A and B are shown apart, each in its own frame.
Chain A
């Protein structure tokens, strides 16, 4: 790529179950305004806008990118929408990164959102087709069997998921933007929460949130002028695979492995546990932490749960995962991937506040979506690549 690219501004809403004080446009604009303020820029400084969200069916607002052009100051500028299901927040950042790296634009505003209080994700995910049985079971009904498959394959003990559920909610207590602030969270509270999709308990699943996230990306000249430290983008990768093919490993998908290998090669990361200081990884169900630890190569296959159990991924561990509290603590679906990318950037900018990992200089942002079929990742660093 001809141009270096960096995150020069980050903004998020306070995520909650219902933001009744703002419309979708107000919600997205709030995050975008914060990102511009962080970069000390104004709407007129932005060359192009890239937005992402989950499928239109969720809120029933068709082509929201058209409706949001005004709110995002995009009138008269290039604006585009990215679609990759739950991974969309990550893919949106990567599409925008490409525009800067290719030298097409100098400053790009990236925004992603979901207003789950006005949406019906359950309905939108239960499309009836004659080729398969109509299963009214939600996302958990799709992923819980894969979690059971992981438990059987790895021999992981039952409590590993609960460890993650507690760890991420404790991390969220340091993050003022997190939706869930469960001050009394402990193993007992998780264990006693209702079993929704056995083996997944209520507190082992993500909440349903209203929220938005925005970042400003800039080229090298822009990064030299902004007030705060930029997060330099050291590598970007996306991969996809079909949801159904013979021999597909649904628990540990090849597309995720390939995506990680690609992004780490670009960033010069040979051992992610050693070479990275923290990671913000899309973990909407507790067990996806050990599953993605293996998929992303932080440990050998079958050892993910051991890493979680050892405390290595805790806030004070050697490779903290989701110091912000992660998707388990805030899930505005379309924004969740971008929040992972933005939180990774905040860590290497030294801007993560009370959940700052000491001395973090290189971090991974990760998102996945669909039936574990879309993956998006970036590695960001404090140093210019």
Chain B
């Protein structure tokens, strides 16, 4: 609309909508704790951090335990496999950024972690995904790795028997 006089706009009839698209581009100063995590991810490692008070392991770590308010300085390397605690099947094509529908959004609890990661489940039909499913990370090709958890493209079934509900029910 730039450069058009108000009287010219009248040709299109009255204004009925004001869309104000905004764009946000930012650089993240990840801080000490999260930088350690992202450096690990860039090497294909998943580094959790343990609370010195409650021994809970945070994944991804945020540098402190929200319950005890203390730094989580002890690093724990976790395997790139875990359990689907819960999920939903997305059937709406949201945008070009989203995968082809249907796709599965899940919470994945890595073995040894006490908080779950969000992730996509692939490598099996969406309708067969279930709570308790055992999964492992499918990494992007190594040359594409950056300081970003997006290095894990999705999670695929390992073929192990499903985890018992009791083993993960307190993580939902």
Contacts and interface: CB of A to CB of B under 8 A. Distances in A.
Interface in A123-149: 126-127, 129-138, 140-141, 144-149
A146 B17 contact: no
Contact of A122 (B20, B56, B94): B94
Interface in A192-250: 194-200, 242, 244-250
Interface stretch (A1-9, A54-62, A87-95, A352-360): A54-62
Interface size grouping (class) on chain A: 35 or more
B106 A153 contact: no
B88 A246 contact: no
Interface of A is mostly: loop
A148 B86 contact: yes
Contacts of B87: 145, 148
B21 A120 contact: yes
A23 B18 contact: yes
Contact of A247 (B21, B37, B114): B114
Contacts, number: 141
B94 A145 contact: no
A21 interface: yes
B60 interface: yes
A250 B16 contact: no
Interface string B45-59: 000000100101110
Interface string B74-114: 00000000000111111110110110001001110000001
A133 B117 contact: yes
B158 interface: no
Contact of B120 (A129, A133, A195, A199): A133
Nearest to A243: B66
Contacts of B139: none
B86 A149 contact: yes
Contacts of A145: 86-88, 105-107, 172
A351 B58 CA distance: 50
Given A197-B88, A242-B66, A130 B148 contact: yes
Contact of A197 (B56, B91, B97): B91
Contacts of A140: 88, 90
A270 interface: no
B28 A146 contact: no
A131 B60 contact: yes
Nearest to A245: B66
A13 to B, nearest CB: 16
Interface size grouping (class) on chain B: 35 or more
A134 B150 contact: yes
A137 B98 contact: yes
A251 interface: yes
Given A140-B88, A195-B91, A61 B20 contact: yes
Contact of A246 (B67, B102, B148): B67
B90 A141 contact: yes
A183 interface: no
B90 A132 contact: no
Given A144-B88, A242-B66, A246-B54, A130 B28 contact: yes
A152 to B, nearest CB: 6
A196 B92 contact: yes
Given A133-B117, A141-B105, A153-B172, A20 B16 contact: yes
Contact of B38 (A18, A20, A131): A131
Nearest to A194: B91
B94 A133 contact: no
A258 interface: no
Nearest to A126: B97
Given A149-B131, A246-B57, A251-B172, 13 more contacts: A57-B22, A59-B20, A60-B20, A60-B21, A133-B120, A145-B87, A145-B106, A148-B87, A152-B86, A152-B169, A197-B89, A197-B90, A244-B115
Pairs A-B, 8 closest by C-beta atoms? A144-B88, A60-B20, A246-B56, A20-B16, A246-B114, A149-B172, A136-B98, A198-B89
13 contacts: A23-B18, A57-B22, A57-B24, A60-B20, A130-B28, A130-B147, A131-B60, A133-B150, A145-B105, A148-B87, A197-B92, A244-B62, A246-B57
